[in-house]
A and B are shown apart, each in its own frame.
Chain A
Amino acid sequence: MAQIFHRSTNTISRVSLFSAIFLAALALTVAAAVARSPYATNQNVPQEQPVQFSHKHHVGDDGIDCRYCHTSVETSAVAGIPPTKTCMNCHSILFADSPYLEPVRESYRTGKSIEWSRVHRLADFVYFNHSIHVNKGVGCSSCHGQVNQMPLVWQASSLQMKWCLECHRHPERVLRPRDQIFNMDWKAPPNQIEQGLKLAKDYKIRAEWDLTSCSTCHR
């Protein structure tokens, strides 16, 4: 009786068998890759803002300290986005009639807030506290990158839990002297680990179990 299948079928079937396994593996890899990509995390994606505000200019060129605007970073959970008033402190005199600053002046006139678009966003169930990090020797740039070189700010880190845990498991890798906290250009010295361990002792950084207990960040 006539053959049902052509000879090639053998090959085809063999190939398809193996490629099936291969494809499955590939799919998983891709999924994992996407989950870690900027597409998902917004990492390294500069955010447009309603006002053409440049950190590069204000921090890098003018050398304004972070705390001039982000006032509550040392005392509160949130670093604080400055009120319009803070902008006007200078810009009521400097560039007082620059068209770029119209939104700011308008806000100040009308009392209607400027709506900045958020760059760093953590999930609602994550309770991050700026003050404790800053007080325990974690510098701004460790998480935010070198903001002094960002015309438009972008999210420098993935902000994924895994990333948080890296430091919470090995704080010595990032700890710096207290006077370097707000130094955007701080680079880890070659003996960082040894220095970090010393700082960890000085700062009374708690043990890994404490830092990685769930309730440290989630409640």
Chain B
Amino acid sequence: MDCSKHNKREGHPAAGQPLDLHAARERLRHTTGKTYWRSLEELSLDPQFTELLHREFPRQASEWPEADAVGRRDFLKLMAASLALGGLSAGCARKPSETIVPYVRTPEGMTLGKALYFATAMPLGASAIGLLVESHEGRPTKIEGNPDHPGSLGATDVFAQAAVLELYDPDRSQVLTHLGDIRAWSSFLAEARVVVEALKSTKGARFRVLTGSVISPTLGDQLQSLLAQFPDARWHQWEPAGSDGAREGARLAFGRYVNTIYRVDKADVIVSLDADFLASGPGGIRYAREFARRRRPDVPGGMNRLYVAEPTPSVTGASADHRLAVRASEVSELAEWIHSQLTSGRLSDTGKNSGSEEKNRWASAVAHDLQKYRGKSLVIAGEHQPAAVHAMAHAINQSLANVGATVLYTEPVEAGPTNQLESLRELTNDMKAGNVELLLILGGNPVYDAPADFQFAELLKNVRTRIHLALFEDETSQLCHWHIPEAHFLESWSDTRAYDGTASVIQPLIAPLYHGKTAHEVLGAFSDQPSRTSYEIVREYWKSRAGGSDFEKPWRKSLHDGVIAGTAFAPLHVAAKVASSSRAIGSAAQARSGGAPWEVVFRPDPAIYDGRFANNGWLQETPKPVTKLTWDNAAIVSPASAQKMGLQQRVAATGGEHGQTLSEVIELDVNGSKVTAAAWILPGQAEATVTLHLGYGRWRPGRVGIQKGFNAYAVRASSGLWSASGAALRKTGARYPLACTQAHYNMESGRNLIRGTTLAEFHKDPKFGDEDAPPKSLSLYKEYQYAGYAWGMAIDLNACIGCNSCVVACQSENNIPVVGKEQVMRGREMHWIRIDRYFEGDIDTPATYFQPVPCMQCENAPCEEVCPVGATVHSAEGLNDMVYNRCIGTRYCSNNCPYKVRRFNFLRFADWETPSLKLLRNPEVTVRSRGVMEKCTYCVQRINAGRMEAEKQNREIRDGEIVTACQASCPTEAIIFGNANDPHSRVAKLKAQPRNYALLADLNTRPRTTYLAAVRNPNPELETPEKR
């Protein structure tokens, strides 16, 4: 709400946090010389922790150790079990006595047992999304999007959802160290003073600061003043997954850095040149929302049409009406050809482009459509495409008069936009030349993710003093003298900007768990006011900006709203210089003319991004949108290329299609540097292109991410940051097990699981999707009558882009455990909502469909009638209640569930020991024990809360008042939940639509979760990809 309240809460650092930091310090004081230890728990000799050491992992954040070994605790459980068998737990075992520990002074504005919501924002890469964070007695437990924030509109991506687990990750670095010895922050400040004095004399020569992309106005300001203070110091930036292409493209086209904003909802025709704009990059969530709004077949203004040309299947490509699989290097050619077609007045179907037949037809169709929809079309160049393509896209949009309509240009969002690759090159050259004495690395992990040919790790040793600020003691910290634990953004005061420049203040939800510091404070240490807190720094910055009389009121308002009013950038008026663009393309074409058999494409990982989330169990276990792989990355190749190479993959007997796939290990040789990786055959992948996802193969990520996948950075050179030609693949003959949750691609004939058609067909026969379900009279049991609410859900398959944020949101809301690769390979992952992915059509260029599958809450539920103890029962509002405490675990219900949405705790998956993870739990949901079935309940805890509030106010629940976790997080509003009994509710209206159909309706289970059939809008000029 506002800062004052927050400061109060800071009085209770990490309410209930069990670490005895005092004991830790005491011990350290009395130890002499080097002491090696893993974490504070160990120091404070917390018995729980010593016990933890005996077990391999803390589990929630991590895997179930294989060989489910029996520990001491387990044998205690055995005892308990046998006692229970003796009937003693029949409720006649005495309850242990408990104490209640009230506050001494209750924090202002807190009602025990009632959650509070605070607005903040999560910066990632070159933009941020606004968040509302749910806090229980001072513990942030769940993250929602901030509806008032332009970059969020209430939705989030997977990374934001999982941030709360990162906050409580027990592996986070917990103390400030110098050469491995623990130091106090004060001693660092002292050290810094000394250095600063020394620097003053040299005007900061040999002083270098390395950051990621800086989108915090305050930090940018601090850096500028630092450079003013030390004129000869240098500020370098490196964002491994950043987009130099976009920045330099703008420079090519406009002669300056600009920020490009798309108005996707204004576009009738969208052409993506290898741009995954729905799921990644600045504004992704916003764009997905706008895209989906125009995706409904009955939308005013008509349904939009999406063309995508890309080398490797992305979620954007999956939603395309016409997807063209091209090698990354051919995209520029494509762009140029389209441009020439549009500019050279007449559209010729046989252009000069020498591409394949298919490519020609695609390109000319695109050209025609763009021409047809001048001013209502949009061409988007991919973040990972070279500058030339971006320049060309700018030129095309300009020639189509899209600028101002569907494309806007503004001042750059970044504080100091620059060519980061060159910036890092400059730094490494200086290091090589020994011109760097003091290197301050604020966040980031260059030792791991800098281009291989820079040999950053090697050169780093030339630097006399290296200081690293990071959340984890990672690969870079290992090589730095000073390691400073970074404060998580949920613990920090800072600020940031959204894709359109809108600024938000980042306010902490909890006092730093491990006394972490923010970049502001570390940088501040080198200023002349070293001991300012980041709160003061940020506040003063905005105060200076406001400069007005009354600062307090707007400041509190912006904290409350999560956005600072009027900070969005105004559109710029810039003109693209076409000539330079084509020249660039030309040069790009020359660069390309090296006819190597294989082309390597690098992409940030859809689950762990550039590797910074490698230790996040939720993200690691989230099946990647298209491949459905978990816990690993793979070298993705097309079926045809695989055939040529004789690559195979086979489903192992363990887990099977829903679990383990044995893939062949190949060795990649990219211009000399080698890496071995598990190959993965993916329909829709471009010919002779192998895609490597970044972020895996880390050697110091923490206990969860260790030894997962292979390191794609090892073969990523500055010459080919995003795509490199001249790679060679070699079979090693070895096999590697991959945990894939859906190895089965097709839908099997006769099973109309996903219904889809074309827009034209749809207009002819709107009720195509509707399959007549058997008459209600068929059921033996009499039908339920609902006096009050009857909850229901409608999922729009046209809107779903398979981005996974619902999956992680559900995991976070419902305390769903992480089981680890081994268990996933056994087919035991616990996600309550899964996103099924089906390919359709021919194997090289298939149409891809996503289908989120939560519990269907059947009216005639097969699970209910077979449970011997009535642990799953029909509720008065139509839910299939799942009563964990009544379940004895016969698994009969799961066998009888045709949708297989039930999940079973085969082992004790939930982590009941790790102290910090206890703070993570949603207190409104039971933490399930071993041997118990669980499943989606439409977030019944939210339903109950909403109902009670309504009843206390003596009114009906309003439509949209209760929102399930998956619905809240969905960027495209694909999931709508509500009272199906109320004909005016949104869900009832959707269910009344002709597109509405029930999954496996012929079984007469009569699900309450129904689907809206997919309608695609193909260009008649090209034959439709799907024939149904």
A and B touch in their complex, CB below 8 angstroms:
yes
Partner of A213, one of B93, B877, B886: B877
* A54 to B876 alpha-carbon distance, docked (Å): 43
Asked if A6 is at the interface (CB within 8 A of a chain B CB), the reply is no
Question: If A72-B113, A127-B944 touch, does A214 touch B93 (CB 8 Å cutoff)?
Answer: no
Asked if A204 and B951 make an inter-chain contact with CB atoms under 8 angstroms apart, the answer reads yes
Alpha-carbon distance between A119 and B214 when the two chains are bound, in angstroms: 54
Cβ contacts under 8 Å, A124 to chain B: 926
CA–CA, A93 and B482, complex, Å: 54
Which of the candidate stretches A58-66, A77-85, A169-177, A186-194 sits at the interface with the other chain? A77-85
The minimal Cβ–Cβ distance linking A25 to chain B, given in whole angstroms, is 16
> B879, A215: Cβ atoms under 8 Å?
yes
Distance in Å: Cβ of A138 to nearest Cβ of chain B: 13
Check B926 against A135 for contact (C-beta < 8 Å): no
Cβ of A67 within 8 Å of any chain B Cβ, yes or no, is no
A125 to B815, CA, bound (A): 13
Inter-chain CA distance A68–B787, complex, in Å, is 39
Is the Cβ of A214 less than 8 Å from the Cβ of B886?
A: yes
* Binding-face segment, B101-109, B266-274, B828-836: B101-109
Query: Which residues of chain A are within 8 angstroms of B952 by Cβ–Cβ distance?
Result: 131-132, 135
Q: Which residues of B have CB within 8 Å of A107? A: 104
Asked whether B100 is an interface residue with its Cβ less than 8 Å from the other chain, the reply is yes
Task: Check if B113 sits within 8 Å of A77, measured CB to CB.
Answer: yes
In angstroms, Cα B91 to Cα A213, docked, is 21
Which residues of chain A have C-beta atoms less than 8 A from B87's C-beta? 31
Q: Interface-forming stretch among A12-20, A109-117, A146-154? A: A109-117
Chain A residue contacts of B544, Cβ below 8 A: none
Are A216 and B113 neighbours in the complex by a CB distance under 8 Å? no
Task: Tell whether A84 pairs with B104 under 8 Å between CB atoms, given A76-B113, A209-B876.
Answer: yes
List residues of B (99-128) whose CB comes within 8 Å of A's CBs. Answer: 99-106, 111-114
Does any Cβ of A come within 8 Å of B593's Cβ? Answer: no
- Digitize A137-176: 1 where CB-to-B-CB distance is under 8 Å, 0 elsewhere: 0000000000000000000000010000000000000000
Residue B69 lies at the interface, judged by CB distance under 8 Å to chain A? no
The winner among B787, B876, B943 for most chain A CB atoms within 10 A is: B876
| Given A35-B90, A160-B91, A214-B875, also A118-B98 (CB < 8 A) | yes
Q: How far is the CA of A112 from the CA of B925 in the complex (A)?
A: 30
How far apart are B17's CB and chain A's nearest CB, in angstroms?
15
Is B873 in the interface zone, CB < 8 Å from A?
Answer: yes
Q: Does A39 contact B (CB under 8 A)?
A: yes
Tell me which residues across on chain A come within 8 A of B747, comparing CB atoms.
none
Assuming the contacts A72-B113, A136-B951, A218-B885, asked whether A83 and B940 have C-beta atoms less than 8 A apart, the reply is: no
By the criterion CB–CB under 8 Å, are B941 and A210 in contact?
no
Cβ-defined contact, B788 with A210, below 8 A: yes
Binary interface profile of A, 92-136, with partner B (CB < 8 Å = 1, else 0)?
A: 000000000000000110011111111001011101010110011
A23 within 8 A of B: no
Contact partner of A34 (CB less than 8 A), chosen from B92, B98, B103, B111, is B92
CB-CB < 8 A to A82: which residues of B?
102
Q: Which of A39, A83, A115, A213 contacts B876 (CB 8 A)?
A: A213
Contact between B944 and A84 (Cβ–Cβ < 8 Å)? no
- A40 at the binding interface (Cβ < 8 Å): yes
CB pair A207 B787 closer than 8 Å: yes
A113 & B111 in contact (Cβ 8 Å cutoff) = no
A7 is an interface residue with CB less than 8 A from chain B: no
CA distance A207 to B785 in the complex (A): 12
Residues of B within 8 A of A78 (CB): 112-113
Residue from the list B94, B102, B788 in contact with A113, Cβ < 8 A: B102
Given contacts A108-B104, A117-B98, contact A72 B111 (CB under 8 A): yes
CB neighbours of B113 from chain A (8 A): 72, 76-78, 80
Identify which of B101, B102, B876, B925 contacts A207 (C-beta below 8 A).
Answer: B876
Contact assessment for A72 and B885 in the assembled complex, using a CB-CB cutoff below 8 Å: no
CB of A75 closer than 8 Å to a CB of B = yes
Please give, as numbers and ranges, the residues of chain A lying within 8 Å of B883 by CB-CB distance.
214-215, 218
Beta-carbon contact of B876 and A113 below 8 Å: no
| Contact A214/B873 with A72-B112, A85-B106, A129-B948 known, Cβ cut-off 8 Å | yes
Is the beta-carbon distance between A35 and B91 smaller than 8 angstroms? yes
**Complex: chain A residue closest to B872, CB-CB:** A214
- A82–B94 Cα distance when bound, in Å, is 27
Which of A116, A125, A215 touches B99 (beta carbons < 8 Å)?
Answer: A116
From B104, B876, B940, B943, give the contact of A85 (CB < 8 A).
Answer: B104
A6 to chain B, nearest CB (A): 37
Who on chain B is nearest to A107 by CB?
B104
Residues of B within 8 A of A84 (CB): 102-105
Contact count band on B: 35 or more
Q: B97 contacts the other chain (Cβ, under 8 Å)? A: yes
Q: Are B885's CB and A83's CB within 8 A?
A: no
Whether the Cβ atoms of A219 and B91 lie closer than 8 Å is no
CB of A35 to closest CB in B, whole Å: 4
Taking a contact as CB atoms under 8 Å apart, the answer to whether B881 and A215 are in contact is yes
Residue of B nearest to A161 (CB): B91
B112 touches A121 (CB 8 A): no
Residue numbers in A under 8 Å from B98 (CB-CB) = 117-118, 121
A30 CB → nearest B CB, Å: 10
Minimum Cβ distance to chain B for residue A109 (Å): 10
Q: How far is the CB of A66 from chain B (nearest CB, A)?
A: 15
Verify A118–B99 contact, CB threshold 8 A.
yes
| 8 Å CB interface, B45-88 against A | 87
Residue on A nearest B97 in the bound complex, by CB: A117
- When the two chains form their complex, are residues A215 and B944 in contact, meaning their CB atoms are under 8 A apart? yes
Bound state CA distance, A96 and B879, in angstroms?
A: 56
Nearest B-chain residue to A135, judged by Cβ: B952
CB pair B106 A83 closer than 8 Å: yes
Instruction: Report how far A131 CA is from B924 CA in the complex, Å.
Output: 15
Nearest opposing residue in chain B for A84, CB measure: B104
Beta-carbon nearest neighbor of B91 in chain A: A35
A206 at the A/B interface (Cβ < 8 Å)?
yes
CB atoms of A118 and B951 under 8 A apart: no
Q: Is the CB of A80 within 8 A of B90?
A: no
Residue from A81, A117, A125 within 8 A of B884 (CB atoms): A125
Q: What chain A residues lie within 8 Å of B97 (beta carbons)?
A: 117-118
Chain B contacts for A125, CB-based, 8 A: 884-885, 926
Indicate if the CB atoms of B99 and A210 lie closer than 8 Å.
no
Known: A35-B91, A127-B944, A207-B787. A113 touches B101 (CB 8 A): yes
Instruction: Check if B881 sits within 8 Å of A214, measured CB to CB.
Output: yes
With an 8 A cutoff between CB atoms, is B95 at the interface? Answer: yes
A81, B106: Cα distance in complex, Å? 11
Q: Closest chain A residue to B105 by CB distance? A: A85
Chain B residue nearest to A42 (CB atoms) is B95
Q: Do A219 and B940 contact each other (CB < 8 Å), given the known contacts A118-B98, A118-B99, A125-B884?
A: yes
Are A40 and B881 within 8 A (Cβ)? no
A135 in contact with B951 (CB, 8 Å): yes
B926 CB, min distance to chain A CBs, angstroms? 5
Determine the residue in chain A with the shortest Cβ distance to B942. Answer: A219
A113-B951 contact, Cβ under 8 Å, with A215-B881, A218-B881, A219-B941: no
B885 touches A80 (CB 8 A): no
Q: Are A76 and B112 in contact (CB under 8 A)?
A: yes
B746 within 8 A of A: no
Say whether, besides A78-B112, A129-B948, A215-B937, A123 and B885 are in contact (CB < 8 Å): yes
Q: Say yes or no: is B719 at the interface (Cβ < 8 Å to chain A).
A: no
Of B94, B886, B943, which one neighbours A40 at CB under 8 angstroms? B94
Known A-B contacts: A40-B91, A84-B103, A85-B106. Give 11 more (CB < 8 A): A72-B112, A75-B111, A78-B112, A78-B113, A113-B103, A117-B100, A127-B924, A127-B941, A206-B876, A215-B879, A216-B875
Please list 18 pairs of residues, one from A and one from B, whose beta carbons are closer than 8 Å in the complex, sorted by A's number.
Answer: A40-B92, A76-B112, A77-B114, A80-B102, A84-B102, A84-B104, A113-B104, A115-B100, A118-B98, A129-B944, A129-B948, A132-B951, A204-B954, A206-B876, A210-B877, A215-B943, A219-B924, A219-B925
Chain B residues in contact with chain A, CB under 8 A?
Answer: 87, 90-95, 97-106, 111-114, 787-788, 873, 875-877, 879, 881, 883-886, 924-926, 937, 940-941, 943-944, 948, 951-952, 954
CB-CB nearest 10 A-B residue pairs: A213-B875, A35-B92, A210-B876, A214-B881, A76-B113, A78-B113, A125-B885, A40-B92, A118-B98, A81-B102
